[in-house]
Amino acid sequence: MKKIFLILLLLIITSPAQAYVILTEEWKSGIGVRFWSTDNMPIDVIIDKPTTDNGEKIIGLVLDSLAVWQNVKTTYLSYNIKEYLDENINYDVLSDSQSSHYESIIPALNSSNFTTNNEDGKHEIVFDDDGKIFENIFGVDSTSVLGAAIPFSDATTGEILDGVVFINTSIGLEEGVLQAAIVHELGHFIGIAHSNIVDSYLTDDLLPTMYYTKFPNDDSLGKDLAIDDIGVLSSLYPANNINTELGCIEGKVQSSTGEGVFGASVVLLNIKTNEAMGGLSGYITGNAGKGEFGIYGVQPGTYVLYVYAINSSTSGRLNGAIIGGIFEDITKNFEEEFYNNIQQTFTDFYKNIPENAYRFEIGASTKISNVVVTEGTDINDEIPIQETNCQPQFPGNQNLDFAKLPNPAANFKTTSGGCQLVINSSHEVPFFIVLLIITAVLLAIRKKGIK
């Protein structure tokens, strides 16, 4: 019998945050990421037919959102519109066992019936125009949920075999907000988890797409990727120019006794632009590992590195369960500090960066390694090593040949002018569902212009 875990998050609009986490989980072969293989590029997408009055505009927003992810010059990720449907995939269609979309989607939602034989190349983007799919299939209030993205992965390798994106178009939202949500869900569709860093220290225009409470304040936000979104995309689906365009930093976080710290939040903050990206320690070896971290796809610049624990004092509602995968049980205690043992409380670290906080000069193709952060000011951190050739290191069976990486994808042509519901199973293909929650209260607040 499958276990269902439903986590509902309010999308509170305050200040932004950044950093990325790739969907990293425990597969039969060990810890690994979720990924679409190079053999599946471009990813064929089937676009549903919306029945709302603004249906044409909605399709245009989907095309724009696909372009946001594909039109990054350091990725080989690409899409192909396989088909525009001439009918809407509504709840009645999904309830009809004779429907081809029933055969494609419903067995996947019922993981006990889903096998590799159900992988049919139909990667649908579905518009729920009346909210009944969310109400009757997902069992959630259709007035409070905007979308869901479901990548179905092979239980041994983590390779994504199929995927579906549901967009709740029964909620009347301005176009910019809707597009930001679509971009966010497409991020989950390709294997990217929610951000691990809280919304405390950047301005709204730097808010990344994959932040877990992402909800833009105006139409100009959410249409472009922040540097952490570009970093994760370029790391998971790197084009052959990644080493000439971007840099990286690797190291480990350890306790004062030298033990690896699992799930510490590592932030790389650009001191000139105030942009930031980051990751979690222990992402390769897990809870019993060495506390390693790797931040790849870094834009050239001058950075400081700051480490802290994700807990209620630093991160509010954000916790391991929200991040998901192997990070559900992460450390809640770590004495926050900059690299080289410069302590500063979490609430102050981004406001007044100490002059003696170590500056990392990261250029294109620059690899900085041996960055060891040891908890406590009385222990000297090890000296970093500067190298070249930044090859992203992720656990699992992605098996990219970095000597033969694909060319960057051509620009996607357009025609337009979470909470998480995680269903785990012992069957062959588990899956991860991400629900983007928007409450009626927030909608009311937004309409009144209250921040």
Query: What is d(CA 299, CA 283) in angstroms, rounded to the nearest whole number?
Result: 21
327: helix, strand or coil:
helix
Over 80: is that where the pLDDT of 234 sits? Answer: yes
Delimit the domains of the chain by residue range: 3-233+408-448, 247-388
How confident is the model over 238-266, as a mean pLDDT? Answer: 92
pLDDT, residue 218, reads: 55
Question: What architecture does CATH give domain 3-233+408-448?
Answer: 3-Layer(aba) Sandwich (3.40)
CA distances from 194 to 210, 268, 325 (A): 5, 17, 11
pLDDT band at 393 (very low <50, low <70, confident <90, very high): confident
- Identical fold between 3-233+408-448 and 247-388: no
pLDDT band at 443 (very low <50, low <70, confident <90, very high): very low
pLDDT, residue 333, reads: 81
Closest by CA to 162, choosing from 189, 123, 126, is 123
pLDDT, residue 25, reads: 67
Percent of the chain exceeding pLDDT 90 equals 30
Closest by CA to 93, choosing from 49, 156, 158, is 49
pTM exceeds cut of 0.75: yes
Over 50: is that where the pLDDT of 56 sits? Answer: yes
355: helix, strand or coil:
coil
Question: What architecture does CATH give domain 247-388?
Answer: Sandwich (2.60)
> Strand pairing partners for 35?
159
**How do residues 67-89 score in pLDDT, each as one tens digit?**
999 999 999 999 999 999 998 99
What tokens were used for 186? 């497409």
Over 90: is that where the pLDDT of 98 sits? Answer: no
Name the residue type at position 36: W
pLDDT, residue 206, reads: 74
Virtual torsion, Cα 276, 280, 283, 288, nearest 10 deg? 160
pLDDT band at 177 (very low <50, low <70, confident <90, very high): confident
Over 70: is that where the pLDDT of 444 sits? Answer: no
Radius of gyration (C-alpha) of the chain in whole angstroms: 21
Query: What is d(CA 268, CA 338) in angstroms, rounded to the nearest whole number?
Result: 10
Candidate from 17-31, 323-337, 342-356, 386-400 with smallest mean pLDDT: 17-31
pLDDT band at 202 (very low <50, low <70, confident <90, very high): low
- DSSP element (H, E) containing 307: strand 301-308
Over 50: is that where the pLDDT of 440 sits? Answer: no
The stretches of 138-206 forming alpha helices (DSSP H) are 175-189
Q: Which one has a higher pLDDT value, 424 or 98?
A: 98
**How do residues 358-389 score in pLDDT, each as one tens digit?**
999 999 999 999 999 988 865 666 788 998 88
CA distances from 173 to 46, 69, 179 (A): 23, 22, 10
